[in-house]
Amino acid sequence: MLAGLVGVVSGLVVVPARAEPPAAFVVENGVTQPVHSLADAVRESVWVDIGLDLDTNGVGDRVAVDIIRPDTTERVPVIIDASPYYATSGRGNESERKSYDSAGLPLKFPLYYDNYFVPRGYAVALVDFSGTSRSTGCLDTGGRSEVASGKAVIDWLNNRATAYTAPSGGTSVPATWSTGAAAMIGKSWDGSVTQGVAATGVEGLRTIVPIAAISSWYDWFRADGVSFRGFGTPTSLASGFENTNARARCAAVRQDMTTGAPGNGDYTPMWQQRDYVRNAANVRAAVFSVNGRADLNVKPVNWGQWLAAVPASVPRKLWLSQTGHIDPFDFRRAEWVATLHRWFDRWLLDVQNGIDTEPQVSVERGVNQWTDTATWPPSGTTARTMHPVSGPVAGVGALSVTPGSPATSSFTDNGSGTPTSYISSPTVTSARRVVYSTAPLTADLRVAGISRLTVAATPSTSTAHLSAYLVDYGPATARSATGEGIRTLSTESCWGESRPGDDACYRDTEPTTATVDAQIIARGWADLANHASLTTPRPLTPGTKYTMTFRLSTTDWTVPAGHRLALVIAGNDSSMTTTPGQLPRVTVNLAETTIQIPLQGTPPRATATTADRSPTRIRPDITPGRLDN
């Protein structure tokens, strides 16, 4: 047990009755208690040398760290949120930004972490990414500078790096108040870098809490060879958040990103540097991952491939909501704060509260209806190969566990197809797509993991983009696309202690809902020119058959009994991906096309006929934004 725990009787920490500052933390009923005054908390700023000089000014790049910590003589652990947003778009549903008082000390700490956790014996450190706000150096969109921004702070907390009182010059500042135990938390870009730091294996990082986080930056900008529409490049993304120094001195970094992100969707060494999955075997920190099923900003493939790559020995927890790009504080607030509290107590203070032995997975099955599962992937999940089988209606057939007779089916990409148009009217022929469905399920069927489609396709032109969707056909009430699944209310609730310049109260939210007949549960995109390699595209020869395997997004979805599970294959997704140079007619060889789906349960063995009726109510997709904006 760490310093500050002075005695335990029947699960209660006993603090001596004397007029001294309280112990670093006090535990009652398995959780730390608010024994410190936030008004008396120590506030300070330091600049940590990250060991790089990307702005080439001859001085080591330093990141600004604004710290608030309890007024105690005991050492305390640290909760870190490193971000590019503190001086620009802000954090959270209310876009909070940092502010400073007349003495230059940090005043406003965005989000509730300081209000809630500092009184309970934690320090909170908010780090400006290099090249942003008050930091020096260069912003490199998920690259080594941003990873170093987080890692160097943890090294400083453990006496392995140096902090100073100023961005240049100044005197060194040791972290004598820190236990060295650190957590990193954050949503979107912030959460992405928590995974990059964890993948370094840095000592002292006890846990990370990535929320809607990118695990490979290629998979934010690209998908199996195709570029996402409206997502720009790493260079254009960084340009919105760079400070004056970075804009003046980081041209070489921007050029490297521009060169490394060709518009054709190739996977380059620049993308490899920003792929945290490839080093996930180094992770030692416990992982609490939170994600939205409907997130088309940070696509769900990111969390699935991350958890699959993290060593099985690493403790983990997973929350999956029906929302889009939303923080759990805004879709499940009370449960989230209580769970995060216990999680930090366990991994930063070694409080044996049992959270590490509870079910790992909590999934929102219906609106505000959550189901827990012991492990991820769920026990009994098996990768099942299913086959599209032609039926009596052209372009409409069965999704079967057994292959059908040799057959082909075709569609034409007109450049304007959307997921809604592709999955509508699944009982009739469409010129835009082909659809294959199971019979109505006789029992619930759980899809849990990353599906992979192997498609044998013959294009009529030299360019071809493909889209694929797993669809749950059947009536349901779901979170709607409005507000990415939430609506912000005028009422507030408070979480922790307020102090002048930093209140602990935030506007409440409620779900937005819609009644639907079809829901996309996983989707993927690909450029057929990358059928053999993501690093080197090959020109297509019209009339030649190519076989390509590509990923669909991670999901954990239960298709209820009575519903149908379907596979839809189509051309370009105009809502998400760039249009190919020439729009093709694509012929799918069904006998050589399969989809591997991670299933818990047994799909129907019988060949399906067409669905009983076409869905009329389809949930529209959420329009993705620029990361957390």
* Amino acid sitting at position 571: G
Question: Partners of 47 in the beta sheet?
Answer: 64, 164
**Look-up: residue for tokens 């690209």?**
222
CA distance 481 to 495: 28
Residue 531 φ then ψ, to 5°? -60, -30
Residue 500 φ then ψ, to 5°? -55, 125
Query: The tokens of 251 are what?
Result: 């041209």
* Amino acid sitting at position 562: G
SS3 244: helix
The answer to whether 65 and 123 have CB atoms below 8 angstroms apart is no
Q: Helices 189-198 and 144-157: crossing angle, nearest 10°?
A: 70
Query: The tokens of 176 are what?
Result: 């004598």
Whole-angstrom CA distances from 228 to 225, 305, 524, 527, 538 are: 10, 19, 11, 11, 20
Give the pairing type, strands 286-292 and 316-321: parallel
The answer to whether 514 and 480 have CB atoms below 8 angstroms apart is yes
Query: The tokens of 437 are what?
Result: 């469905």
Within a 10 A sphere around the Cβ of 372, how many other Cβ atoms? Answer: 10
DSSP one-letter code for 330: G
Residue 294 φ then ψ, to 5°? -95, 15
Catalytic residue of the set 66, 227, 266, 325: 325
Query: The tokens of 474 are what?
Result: 């059947």
Give the pairing type, strands 76-83 and 123-128: parallel
Chain mean position to CA 458: 35
List b or e across 145-169, with b for residues whose CB sees 16 or more CB atoms inside 10 angstroms: bbbbbbbbbbbbbbeebbbbeebee
CA distance 1 to 148: 30
* Catalytic site includes residue 341: no
* Catalytic site includes residue 188: yes
Query: The tokens of 428 are what?
Result: 């009739």
Q: What angle do CA 26, 27, 33 make, to 5 degrees?
A: 65
CA distance 233 to 236: 5
Catalytic residue of the set 188, 216, 227, 553: 188
Catalytic residue of the set 295, 527, 573, 628: 295
Query: The tokens of 152 are what?
Result: 């160097």
Whole-angstrom CA distances from 275 to 147, 341, 537, 555 are: 11, 30, 20, 21
Query: The tokens of 206 are what?
Result: 């006890």
What contacts 11, CB < 8 A, 6 or more positions away?
A: 27, 28, 29, 30
Query: The tokens of 84 are what?
Result: 């590019």
Q: How many contiguous H segments (helices) and E segments (strands) does the chain have?
A: 11, 32
**Look-up: residue for tokens 């400073």?**
100
* Catalytic site includes residue 295: yes
Closest to 596 measured CA to CA, from 490, 440, 454, 478: 454
Closest to 366 measured CA to CA, from 309, 320, 422: 320
Question: Partners of 359 in the beta sheet?
Answer: none
Kindly list the catalytic residues. 188, 295, 325
